[in-house]
Chain A
């Protein structure tokens, strides 16, 4: 399959139109908060309630989503998406990571109190807060997280300076 460029905004639009509940985490959440970092995939923590999984499955079908790197274009199913595991998918609009949980098994409902609403065009999304993003990366031992941590911290400082 030829490599096509990720279309993050369009990917979010499709999920929004299918009324999927999720929280944007990872690199895109950092960008939305003002961190100047590059990322090529969209990380989401999805709500694992049955009703939302139906919406999500419909969206994934529209997106022609299947597991990245799998030789047989294996598609996700609702039972798998109901788990707390991570689903690394590729769609017609680029890479999409559906995370049943992150950091100490925190799922959608655990993370809602650490997220904030962000308006994008005529859509509204839940985005993990910058403060929580920093805290979770501080606990991480992954080198790539530690590299981004400095940028996130300075983004928070500059944002607070701007607000005062």
Chain B
């Protein structure tokens, strides 16, 4: 772990500064019972327990799928509808910008 690593426990974020080996081991054991984290300085993404990656090997965003699966079918369709409305509004803004 480096001093930029974060642990997310519920909504509490703890920044780790102490990187001595004992502390490191204690935190690693703690992490095993909480959400897993990446200790890569360049990747602070938090994965839910049991999951190993945000992306499939062929580049599909699995977090988006998991989010969609957490919704009911009606909620999924509502999200699609809202997206469509947003896209149309953005297109309208673009058209207005082009005209002015």
Contacts and interface: CB of A to CB of B under 8 A. Distances in A.
Interface of A: 3, 5-9, 28, 31-36, 38-40, 118-121, 150-151, 154-155, 158-159, 162
A7 B81 contact: yes
Interface in B71-100: 71, 73-74, 76-78, 80-81, 83-85, 87-88
Contacts of A9: 77-78, 81
B43 interface: no
B65 interface: yes
Interface of B: 56, 58-62, 64-69, 71, 73-74, 76-78, 80-81, 83-85, 87-88
Contact of A34 (B58, B61, B65): B65
Given A5-B85, A36-B64, A38-B80, 13 more contacts: A6-B84, A7-B81, A28-B77, A31-B80, A32-B77, A34-B68, A34-B69, A119-B73, A121-B74, A150-B58, A151-B60, A158-B66, A159-B69
Q: Which 4 A-B pairs have the closest CB atoms?
A: A5-B88, A34-B69, A36-B64, A34-B68
A contact patch SS: mixed
A3 B77 CA distance: 21
